A and B are shown apart, each in its own frame.
Chain A
């Protein structure tokens, strides 16, 4: 099973700042099969990024994904108030596993 490790566990930033969230895989991901989701309290996860760097329909361009192999990054270029949430990475190169999440909170 591929284990995904997200860091940091909690990130405290202010609106307008840049956020960088990391996701490390225990094995290299085939074809960069990695997605990122945003989850707000009481709601289902929302797809942001798939195939490591492709933005899902309707996702603002301040969200971007990068990386390959075992190291992946989600960047939010300029935080808006609605961006404070929990973010999960997911790999689908070998079955499916999720990272443990990064909580992005207002500083």
Chain B
């Protein structure tokens, strides 16, 4: 089935960047796309982007295209999401989630979430 385990809580100042990790286990890491989704406090789910862990190719939602990066380390089965130029409205829970081999699909499983707080 597989499991995704994310890094811990982050507190950042406005203008800084944050890098969140998502370690996969229990399945073929390079065969399944990983997506990132965020959830602001008390709000709904917002899709950020997708990475193919095998090829390293990425695609981002338009609103994040100029300040989002996704990378992967196949030796540790880990993907990384880095968001630059943080502002208070980036305060949210950030989730990684596995899609199917085709890329755009339902998400299962999800990581446990990483809280990122942006505050001066």
Contact = CB atoms under 8 A, between A and B. Distances in A.
Interface of A: 33, 35, 37, 44-47, 50-51, 56-57, 88, 90, 92-93, 95-101
B113 A95 contact: no
B110 A92 contact: no
B37 to A, nearest CB: 8
A11 to B, nearest CB: 16
Interface residues of B, number: 21
Contacts of B95: 44-45
A24 B37 CA distance: 21
A47 B47 contact: no
Contacts, number: 54
Interface string B90-120: 0000010101000011111011110000000
B72 interface: no
Interface of B: 1, 35, 37, 44-47, 50, 61, 95, 97, 99, 104-108, 110-113
A51 B108 CA distance: 13
Main secondary structure of the interface of B (DSSP, over half): loop
B47 A95 contact: yes
A56 B57 CA distance: 28
A97 B44 contact: no
A88 B44 contact: yes
Nearest to B6: A44
5 contacts: A46-B110, A47-B106, A50-B105, A92-B105, A99-B44
